[in-house]
Chains A and B, each alone.
Chain A
Amino acid sequence: MPITNALTTTIERVSILDEHGNFDEKLGKGLIPDADLLKLYETMVTCRMMDEVAFKLQRSGRMGTYPQNMGQEANSLGAAYALNNDDWLVTCYRENCGLMWRGVPIDSILLHWMGDERGNAMPRPHHATPIAVPIGTQMLHATGLAWAAKYRGEKRISCTFFGDGATSEGDFHEACNFAANLDIPVIFFCQNNFWAISVPGRIQCSAPTVAQRGIAYGMPCLQVDGNDLFAVVYGMRKAIEHARTTGKPYFIEGVTYRLGDHTTADDARRYRDQAEVDAWKARDPITRLRTYMTKKGIWSDAKDAALREAAEASCMATIERCEQVEPPVRGDVFNYTFADLPADLVTQRETGHTHSLGQDPSQLPSASNAR
Chain B
Amino acid sequence: MANLTLVQAINLALIQEMEKDDRVILLGEDVGNNGGVFRVTEGLQKRFGANRVVDTPLAESGIIGTSIGLAMAGLRPVPEIQFEGFLGPAYDQLCSHAARMRTRTRGAFTVPMTVRVPVGGGIHAPELHSDSPEAFYTHQPGLKVVMPSGPYDAKGLLISALRDPDPVIFFEPKRIYRAIREEVPEDEYTIPIGKARVVCEGTDLTVVSWGASVIQCMQAIEACGRSVELIDLRTIYPMDMETVEASVSKTGRCVIVHEAPRTCGVGSEVATQIMEKCFLHLEAPVQRVTGFDTIMPYYKLELEYLPDAARIQRGIEDCLAY
Report the minimal beta-carbon distance from B303 to chain A, rounded to whole angstroms: 35
- Which of A2-10, A52-60, A140-148, A243-251 lies at the interface with chain B? A140-148
Asked whether A151 lies within 8 Å of B51 as measured between CB atoms, the reply is: yes
Report the minimal beta-carbon distance from B309 to chain A, rounded to whole angstroms: 32
Report the minimal beta-carbon distance from A276 to chain B, rounded to whole angstroms: 33
Known: A178-B62, A344-B239. A130 touches B105 (CB 8 A): yes
CA distance A342 to B166 in the complex (A): 12
Asked whether A338 lies within 8 Å of B144 as measured between CB atoms, the reply is: yes
Does A134 belong to the interface (CB within 8 Å)?
yes
Known: A134-B96, A137-B97, A338-B102. A129 touches B72 (CB 8 A): yes
Interface size class of B (residues with CB under 8 A): 35 or more
A-B contacts at CB below 8 angstroms, number: 139
Nearest residue (CB) in A for B112 is A339
Asked whether A182 lies within 8 Å of B65 as measured between CB atoms, the reply is: no
Does A337 belong to the interface (CB within 8 Å)?
yes
Asked whether A118 lies within 8 Å of B106 as measured between CB atoms, the reply is: yes
The answer, among A122, A129, A342, for a CB contact under 8 Å with B238, is A342
Which of B69, B74, B89, B144 has most A Cβ within 10 Å?
B69
- Map CB proximity to B onto A132-159 as digits: 1 under 8 Å, 0 otherwise: 0010010011111111110100000010
Does B262 belong to the interface (CB within 8 Å)?
no
Q: Please provide the chain A residues from 330 to 355 with a CB less than 8 Å away from any CB of chain B in the complex.
A: 332, 336-340, 342-344
Chain A neighbourhood of B144, CB < 8 A? 338
Asked whether A134 lies within 8 Å of B92 as measured between CB atoms, the reply is: yes
Asked whether B104 lies within 8 Å of A147 as measured between CB atoms, the reply is: no
Asked whether B70 lies within 8 Å of A178 as measured between CB atoms, the reply is: no
Chain B neighbourhood of A177, CB < 8 A? 57, 59, 62
Does B36 belong to the interface (CB within 8 Å)?
no
Asked whether A147 lies within 8 Å of B59 as measured between CB atoms, the reply is: no
The answer, among A123, A148, A338, A339, for a CB contact under 8 Å with B73, is A148
Does B276 belong to the interface (CB within 8 Å)?
yes
Asked whether B57 lies within 8 Å of A342 as measured between CB atoms, the reply is: no
The answer, among B66, B97, B104, B239, for a CB contact under 8 Å with A120, is B104
Chain A neighbourhood of B62, CB < 8 A? 140, 171, 174-175, 177-178
Nearest residue (CB) in B for A142 is B69
Report the minimal beta-carbon distance from B277 to chain A, rounded to whole angstroms: 7
Asked whether A117 lies within 8 Å of B105 as measured between CB atoms, the reply is: yes
Known: A143-B66, A144-B67. A174 touches B73 (CB 8 A): no
The answer, among A120, A174, A338, A343, for a CB contact under 8 Å with B59, is A174
Asked whether A137 lies within 8 Å of B65 as measured between CB atoms, the reply is: yes
Chain B neighbourhood of A137, CB < 8 A? 65, 92-93, 96-97
Report the minimal beta-carbon distance from B298 to chain A, rounded to whole angstroms: 28
Does B165 belong to the interface (CB within 8 Å)?
yes
Chain B neighbourhood of A296, CB < 8 A? none
Asked whether B59 lies within 8 Å of A149 as measured between CB atoms, the reply is: no
Report the minimal beta-carbon distance from A159 to chain B, rounded to whole angstroms: 13
Chain A neighbourhood of B276, CB < 8 A? 356
Chain A neighbourhood of B110, CB < 8 A? 339
Asked whether B166 lies within 8 Å of A121 as measured between CB atoms, the reply is: no
Does B150 belong to the interface (CB within 8 Å)?
no
Does B218 belong to the interface (CB within 8 Å)?
no
Chain A neighbourhood of B97, CB < 8 A? 134, 137, 141
Chain B neighbourhood of A171, CB < 8 A? 61-62, 65, 92-93
Does A181 belong to the interface (CB within 8 Å)?
yes
CA distance A336 to B93 in the complex (A): 19
Chain B neighbourhood of A121, CB < 8 A? 105-108
- Map CB proximity to B onto A99-138 as digits: 1 under 8 Å, 0 otherwise: 0000000000000000001101111100001100010010
Report the minimal beta-carbon distance from A216 to chain B, rounded to whole angstroms: 13
Nearest residue (CB) in B for A134 is B96
Known: A120-B106, A174-B59. A144 touches B92 (CB 8 A): no
Chain B neighbourhood of A122, CB < 8 A? 105, 108-109
Chain A neighbourhood of B65, CB < 8 A? 137, 140-141, 143-144, 171, 174-175
- Map CB proximity to A onto B5-41 as digits: 1 under 8 Å, 0 otherwise: 0000000000000000000010000000000000000
Does A20 belong to the interface (CB within 8 Å)?
no
Asked whether B75 lies within 8 Å of A181 as measured between CB atoms, the reply is: no
Does A170 belong to the interface (CB within 8 Å)?
yes
Chain A neighbourhood of B71, CB < 8 A? 144
Report the minimal beta-carbon distance from A253 to chain B, rounded to whole angstroms: 22
Chain A neighbourhood of B102, CB < 8 A? 336-339
Asked whether B25 lies within 8 Å of A151 as measured between CB atoms, the reply is: yes
Does A270 belong to the interface (CB within 8 Å)?
no
CA distance A251 to B74 in the complex (A): 26
Asked whether A141 lies within 8 Å of B68 as measured between CB atoms, the reply is: yes
Does A26 belong to the interface (CB within 8 Å)?
no
Chain B interfacial positions (CB closer than 8 Å to A):
25, 51, 54, 56-57, 59, 61-62, 64-75, 77, 89, 92-93, 96-97, 102-110, 141-142, 144, 165-166, 194, 237-239, 241-242, 273, 276-277, 279-280
Chain A interfacial positions (CB closer than 8 Å to B):
117-118, 120-124, 129-130, 134, 137, 140-149, 151, 158, 170-171, 174-175, 177-178, 181-182, 332, 336-340, 342-344, 356, 363, 371
Given A142-B69, A343-B242, A356-B273, 6 extra CB contacts under 8 A: A140-B65, A141-B69, A170-B59, A175-B65, A177-B62, A338-B142
